Structure 1
């Protein structure tokens, strides 16, 4: 994958957006998973950058965290976060951004676009819950109750906000032509 300097800079800026929104983190008392704005950012990256650059922006974000830069929620960083209980959610970010970007690039049907965002969210839930269940030594169902159920309503709101904001920005700015 050959990248121009411009594309790399844009991806880095959007990786920074994810890092900044990760710091909007609210610990939830009954779960180890904090409430963050990361998924909102991940979806915005896909909507605005498309599948290729959206994916890359999240790979950059994960790479920064992997080498220890505190870009994850609650100023976390390092491999321990990625292999920890909630690391699966982080690992899903490039996939989520790619799926959302792919659908926004190929289709115009609003229902299909929202559905693609929900499918991407559920893929993140599956990957994240699977890793949580393995690390925590609990059943997948118990993992869902801990990692997903408390966040469903808020995550649906984030999907809706990302959809509305992403569509508005996309009408005004084409990040591929900057």
Structure 2
């Protein structure tokens, strides 16, 4: 895949947006996983950049954190952050952008894009809960109870917000011939 300078800049920009939104974070007392706004950046990357560039942007974000840049929630970074309780959620981000981007690339209807974000969220929940089980040795039911269920309502609100913003931006990019 040939990638232009413009595409590199866009991927870097969305990796940076992920870094910033990860810092809007609240550590819930009953969950080892913080509530953050970074999934909004993941969804936006998929919608606006499409599958390939969205995936790359989130992979860059994960790699930055893995090599020690303090880009994850609460300015954490390093392999330890990925190997920690929230690691499965972080690892899921590139795949979430890929899912949303695949749908945004092929069908531009709002309903399908919203469904793709819901599906991407489910993928994230599964990756995250399974990883949490492996790392903390808790039951899958407890992982769902502490690291998935408290986040569903807020993630649905994020999906609504992103669907309004992202779809409008993407349609303007396409209609302006910038895609």
Same fold (TM over 0.5): yes
SS of the aligned residue for 1:69 comes to: coil
Q: Which runs of 5+ in 2 are unaligned?
A: none
The equivalent of 1:6 in structure 2 is 6
Note if contact 2:110-2:167 (Cα within 8 Å) is conserved in structure 1: no
Note if contact 1:26-1:34 (Cα within 8 Å) is conserved in structure 2: yes
The equivalent of 2:178 in structure 1 is 177
The equivalent of 1:82 in structure 2 is 82
The equivalent of 2:68 in structure 1 is 68
Structure 1 runs of 4+ with >3 Å offset: none
Q: Could you state the TM-score of these two structures normalised by the residue count of structure 2?
A: 0.95
Instruction: Give the drift of 1:172.
Output: 1.9
Q: Which runs of 5+ in 1 are unaligned?
A: none
Higher relative contact order (CA 8 A, sep 6+): 1
Note if contact 2:27-2:35 (Cα within 8 Å) is conserved in structure 1: yes
Equivalent residues in 2 for 1:115-130 (5 A)? 115-130=115-130
The equivalent of 1:112 in structure 2 is 112
The equivalent of 2:38 in structure 1 is 38
Measured in 2, the distance between the counterparts of 1:35 and 1:18 equals 14
Instruction: Give the drift of 1:176.
Output: 8.2
Note if contact 1:51-1:98 (Cα within 8 Å) is conserved in structure 2: yes
The answer to whether structure 1 residue 28 and structure 2 residue 50 are counterparts is no
Note if contact 1:49-1:176 (Cα within 8 Å) is conserved in structure 2: no
SS of the aligned residue for 2:70 comes to: coil
Equivalent residues in 2 for 1:92-171 (5 A)? 92-171=92-171
Instruction: Give the drift of 1:171.
Output: 2.1
Deviations 1:111-153 (A, max 9, x none): 2221111011000000010000111101111100010011111
Q: Could you state the TM-score of these two structures normalised by the residue count of structure 1?
A: 0.96
SS of the aligned residue for 1:92 comes to: helix
Instruction: Give the drift of 1:168.
Output: 1.4
